[in-house]
């Protein structure tokens, strides 16, 4: 009987140990589940935040692109209002503005602005297209505003009875003269607007006058 009692005691001890082990296992499982929830819950929150940031960034980019497109369309609408709604060269002007926007330091909207300024100065559609790129190059080289350089080039061309396709000549002469003196292109342009009538009456060329 003693042996049976000993066996029963041993079985009970082992049973108690098993129960303790089972409780420990259950506790570890609970901790693991809590840890898993915290981990994946955090990841889910992070994903939500990251997704919101990405969507916000895309929304901002879309808004900016829409504003840029709207600005370009508005500038070209201004050009069309000046040169005439039925002008057949409008599509060519629009295509040129886009091309200049992708091949120069300026945007298509700025190119359209240059066209608008030249058109307001009395240039025809053909003249505007011939002069716009040179005006933009002069603005980039001199550091002046595009509107200022459009005004300078337009007045020089008209003041010295030159053709619009000579805008490159005007830009080169003004840039060279500015580099050789302490006078910037805008100051030269202002001075030319006063002396052009006198120079023309004396049959002086543009180069002679600027020099």
pLDDT tens-place values along the chain, 211 residues long: 444 444 344 544 555 555 565 566 566 656 655 554 555 555 544 444 454 555 455 455 445 545 555 689 999 999 999 988 778 899 999 999 999 999 988 999 999 999 999 999 899 999 999 999 999 999 999 999 988 999 999 999 999 999 999 999 999 999 999 988 888 999 999 999 899 889 888 889 999 999 8
Name the residue among 91, 72, 183, 142 with its Cα closest to residue 153. 142
Residues 6+ apart with CB under 8 A from 1: none
Contact between 170 and 134 (Cβ < 8 Å): yes
Q: How many CB atoms lie within 10 A of CB 151?
A: 21
- pLDDT score recorded for residue 84: 87
- pLDDT score recorded for residue 86: 78
Please name the helix (run of DSSP H) or strand (run of DSSP E) that holds residue 26, with its range, or none: helix 2-83
Residues 6+ apart with CB under 8 A from 154: 117, 118, 121, 122, 123, 131
pTM for this predicted structure: 0.64
């Amino acid at each position: 009987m003693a042996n049976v009692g000993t066996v029963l005691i041993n079985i009970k001890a082992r049973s108690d140990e098993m129960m303790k082990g089972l409780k420990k296992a259950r506790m570890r499982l609970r901790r693991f589940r809590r840890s898993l929830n915290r981990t994946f819950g955090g990841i889910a929150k992070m994903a939500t935040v990251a997704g919101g940031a990405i969507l916000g960034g895309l929304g901002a980019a879309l808004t900016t692109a829409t504003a840029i497109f709207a600005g370009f369309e508005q500038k070209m609408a201004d050009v069309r209002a000046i040169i005439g709604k039925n002008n057949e060269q409008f599509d060519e002007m629009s295509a040129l503005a886009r091309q200049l926007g992708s091949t120069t330091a300026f945007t298509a909207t700025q190119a359209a602005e240059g066209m608008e300024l030249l058109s307001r100065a009395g240039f025809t559609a053909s003249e505007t297209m011939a002069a716009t790129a040179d005006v933009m190059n002069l603005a980039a080289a001199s550091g002046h505003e595009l509107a200022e350089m459009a005004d300078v080039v337009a007045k020089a061309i008209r003041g010295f009875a030159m053709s619009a396709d000579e805008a490159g000549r005007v830009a080169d002469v003004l840039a060279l003269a500015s580099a050789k003196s302490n006078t910037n292109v805008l100051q030269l342009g202002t001075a030319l607007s006063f002396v052009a009538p006198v120079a023309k009456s004396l049959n002086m060329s543009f180069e002679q006058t600027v020099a």
